[in-house]
Chains A and B, each alone.
Chain A
Amino acid sequence: MKYLNEFRNGEVAQKMAREIWQVATRPWKIMEICGGQTHSIIRNGIDQMLPPGIEMIHGPGCPVCVTPLSLIDKALAIAAEPGVIFCSFGDMLRVPGTESDLFQIKGRGGDVRVLYSPLDAVELAIRNPDKQVVFFGVGFETTAPANAMSVHLAKRRGVKNFSLLVSHVLVPPAIEAIMSSPENHVQAFLAAGHVCSVMGFWEYPALADDFEIPIVVTGFEPLDLLDGIRRAVIQLEKGEHRVENAYERIVTYAGNFEAQRLLAEIFEVTDRSWRGIGMIPKSGWRLNDRYRDFDAEQRFQISGIHTEESPLCKAGDVLRGAIKPAGCGAFGKECTPRHPLGATMVSSEGACAAYFNYGRYLSAEELASAGAVHA
């Protein structure tokens, strides 16, 4: 905690915010890629501390939000099968499929468990040889090494009743897709610090050059984020477009070599459909031929599921930064965290839920004045 508290120092934060106010002469739109960053920005009220023109656009970096509905439906069908122990990270449980969610499958007798690590699922499979244990392996490059390790371990230990339902997605192709979109508003990116801790940031200079856009590798604590924003604004004001590392205590240019080696051993690049965004070529990972036996999609031949997105949900526009959550007609009406139409309302990192929970009722000015009377 001591280590974290250093990056939550209020005085330093105020100083950094003041510097951003001094540097910014024009409005800028900066996208933070990662859902964890979105969460921290809202949780700490960082967006409230920025000059009015500096707008944070919440990017597609929440695995819960971008996992395609068809795969959620597949997960639900597998979890409902008898003899299956279906394991997942916690916040996938409430993601609505077309007709149900994992909580409801559990309520109807499905064996659905929340785990903190996919490695625990392998242990679970060893302890329950008469069950099929499936781990829902979603996420970006951050969660991928642990998922890869689970398959690696399962193969090495000959665990036949473990499989992975994979929906891994990759950040650089998403940046490319966002920047290539004709309605793009994003002028700078805060790259996701934890993704870069695995992958490094060697993939980014080409993107920064091609799209002439500043990319700042940024962490998750308040001071990390303020520093990332500060650096992005300075570059924008100077008309520069470099890749900067504002998360040096964790991230190196090359990243974690061991993790990358493991990923290359287990996964191969594939086209992926992103919920709300659509197909992005070469934007994900799947198990490669040598590990295909551990692919839950192969093991459970699920067919005949009917997948249908809510026609009201504008999650895709939110994820691309085309609209703010409140710009969706269903926001706070048909769509609330209690009855989410789209995944961005489900995860606490989802842009819509973050807005609903932390700031829905107030404009920035109202929020700022609300805090004026304090004990």
Chain B
Amino acid sequence: MPDHGAPDFSKWSCPLPLRDYPTIVMGHGGGGKLGNELVEYLFLPAFHNPALESLGDAAVIEPGPGRLAMSTDSFVVQPLFFPGGSIGALAVNGTVNDLAVSGAEPMFLSASFILEEGFPLSQLAAVVDAMAEAAAKAGVRIVTGDTKVVERGHGDGCYINTAGVGLLRQGISVGPNRAQAGDVVLVSGTMGDHGMAIMSVREGLEFESQIRSDCAALNVMIADVLDAVGSSVHAMRDPTRGGLASTLNEIATASNVGIDIEDAKVPVRSEVQSACELLGLDPVYVANEGKAVFFVAPEAADRALEVLRAHPLGVDAARIGVVTAQHPRMLVSRTAIGGNRVIATQIGEQLPRIC
């Protein structure tokens, strides 16, 4: 995926009819000619596939035999383009990852846009472009969609909802309630990259090296792990909003187990750590968009880690802790200086401290 830190419209050739309206107008959501033009000249060429091109009221798909997993997510991130990603890439990868950590092979996505009157078409094109690229990379097809337009001032440029279905793998059974005492906790890489990338853009913070979002589709990496150690994986989750802390607390609660981790073993990029220090935040609460947490039976942990590290998205993968029968439903971390702390779920968003 190209860097969408600044919108790159170079690849998008604007078909003639759209040039009449360089920005979104109410008519683009009206179901008339303007809306059709958006579909014909923008969405179809970007997402092209037979199910979409039939332009029925519903996409007809053949997922194959087996059980289906389904997930949906809405994306409202600001800014729309940020170092390492964009709302378009997030919208595809977010739903792909939710399916993948459920043990499914993501296959088909829907995409619904809520656009604000006045939103530049060139930006929409860049968003759609990023979605198409992310979908191609993840090997999923966007087979149905919708566009609505809201009056100026009633939206934030562009909101996207995606839903996805995937075929569940045979022979594995993962779930947030399946972690068991003895399981080893692995993370696929550094924590907090996405959240701090967004925050540094919003706050106008500059560091020696730019913090980039980790936004990525994890399905291939997860498939590698499942191919290698399949049934030994008991739970997987992508630690998005609320970060690692929320994900581990959710699994501890759902599985009725305790989790012990070590602060020093949680991989955090030094620039992310610095930004967190500056803003008074804790990286374990900061969002990720391209990382997964695995709960793996102890005998398979080394192999799983080896497979993760062999994948480009998992080079920083690390073993951060274990599941214990003690202190059920609680996450305890050994601090760097040898103390212990309980890491609780945050109430709302992390608030920067006064001093």
- Which A positions have Cβ atoms within 8 angstroms of B? 1, 4, 8-10, 13-14, 17, 35-36, 39, 42-49, 63-64, 89-94, 103, 114, 116, 138-140, 142-143, 194, 222-223, 337-338, 347-349, 356-362, 366-371, 373-375
Chain B residues positioned under 8 Å from A48 (CB to CB): 339-340
Contact of B339 with A49 in the complex, beta carbons under 8 Å: yes
Which B293-347 residues have C-beta < 8 A from chain A?
A: 319-322, 324, 326-327, 330, 332, 334-344, 347
Given contacts A90-B351, A374-B321, contact A44 B337 (CB under 8 A): yes
Contact of A90 with B353 in the complex, beta carbons under 8 Å: yes
Contact of B337 with A10 in the complex, beta carbons under 8 Å: yes
Contact of B354 with A63 in the complex, beta carbons under 8 Å: yes
* A116 CB contact (under 8 Å) in B265, B270, B334, B352: B352
Contact of A9 with B337 in the complex, beta carbons under 8 Å: yes
Does B203 reach chain A (CB closer than 8 Å)? yes
Does B8 reach chain A (CB closer than 8 Å)? no
Contact of B337 with A13 in the complex, beta carbons under 8 Å: yes
Contact of B338 with A375 in the complex, beta carbons under 8 Å: no
Chain A residues positioned under 8 Å from B270 (CB to CB): 1
* B341 CB contact (under 8 Å) in A17, A90, A142, A359: A359
Determine the distance from Cα of A348 to Cα of B346 in the docked complex, in whole angstroms.
10
Which residue of chain A has the shortest Cβ distance to B261 in the bound complex? A375
Chain A residues positioned under 8 Å from B335 (CB to CB): 43-45, 222
Contact of B344 with A357 in the complex, beta carbons under 8 Å: yes
| Min C-beta distance of A117 to chain B, whole Å | 11
| Min C-beta distance of A132 to chain B, whole Å | 22
23 A-B residue pairings within 8 Å (CB atoms)? A1-B277, A14-B338, A35-B355, A44-B339, A45-B334, A48-B339, A91-B351, A94-B351, A114-B351, A116-B352, A222-B337, A347-B354, A358-B341, A360-B342, A361-B330, A362-B330, A370-B258, A370-B332, A371-B260, A371-B332, A371-B340, A373-B260, A375-B262
Determine the distance from Cα of A358 to Cα of B341 in the docked complex, in whole angstroms.
5
Does B72 reach chain A (CB closer than 8 Å)? no
Determine the distance from Cα of A125 to Cα of B334 in the docked complex, in whole angstroms.
46
Q: A91-B354, A366-B327 are in contact. List 11 more A-B contacts (CB 8 A).
A: A8-B337, A36-B355, A48-B340, A49-B337, A63-B354, A140-B355, A143-B354, A222-B336, A338-B347, A370-B330, A375-B185
Sort chain B's interface into a size bin: 35 or more
Given contacts A45-B337, A337-B347, contact A373 B326 (CB under 8 A): yes
* A194 CB contact (under 8 Å) in B279, B338, B355: B355
| Min C-beta distance of A367 to chain B, whole Å | 5
Determine the distance from Cα of A42 to Cα of B326 in the docked complex, in whole angstroms.
21
- Which of B322, B347, B348, B353 has the most C-beta atoms of chain A within 10 angstroms of its own C-beta? B353
Contact of A375 with B351 in the complex, beta carbons under 8 Å: no
Does B74 reach chain A (CB closer than 8 Å)? no
Contact of B344 with A356 in the complex, beta carbons under 8 Å: yes
Determine the distance from Cα of A367 to Cα of B355 in the docked complex, in whole angstroms.
28
Contact of B319 with A358 in the complex, beta carbons under 8 Å: no
* B339 CB contact (under 8 Å) in A36, A45, A349, A357: A45
Chain A residues positioned under 8 Å from B352 (CB to CB): 89-91, 114, 116
Could you mark each residue 130-149 of chain B with 1 if its beta carbon is under 8 Å from any beta carbon of chain A, else 0?
Answer: 00000000000000000000
| Min C-beta distance of A323 to chain B, whole Å | 21
Determine the distance from Cα of A104 to Cα of B248 in the docked complex, in whole angstroms.
29
Chain A residues positioned under 8 Å from B320 (CB to CB): 375
Contact of A63 with B260 in the complex, beta carbons under 8 Å: no
Does B273 reach chain A (CB closer than 8 Å)? yes
Contact of B355 with A63 in the complex, beta carbons under 8 Å: yes
| Min C-beta distance of A116 to chain B, whole Å | 7
| Min C-beta distance of B299 to chain A, whole Å | 14
| Min C-beta distance of A96 to chain B, whole Å | 13
Contact of B260 with A42 in the complex, beta carbons under 8 Å: no
Determine the distance from Cα of A85 to Cα of B256 in the docked complex, in whole angstroms.
46
Given contacts A43-B341, A46-B339, contact A375 B273 (CB under 8 A): no
Given contacts A357-B344, A375-B260, contact A10 B277 (CB under 8 A): no
Chain B residues positioned under 8 Å from A223 (CB to CB): 337
Chain B residues positioned under 8 Å from A360 (CB to CB): 342
Does B80 reach chain A (CB closer than 8 Å)? no
Does B274 reach chain A (CB closer than 8 Å)? yes
Chain A residues positioned under 8 Å from B258 (CB to CB): 370
Determine the distance from Cα of A359 to Cα of B348 in the docked complex, in whole angstroms.
19
Contact of B338 with A13 in the complex, beta carbons under 8 Å: yes
* A367 CB contact (under 8 Å) in B265, B282, B332, B353: B332
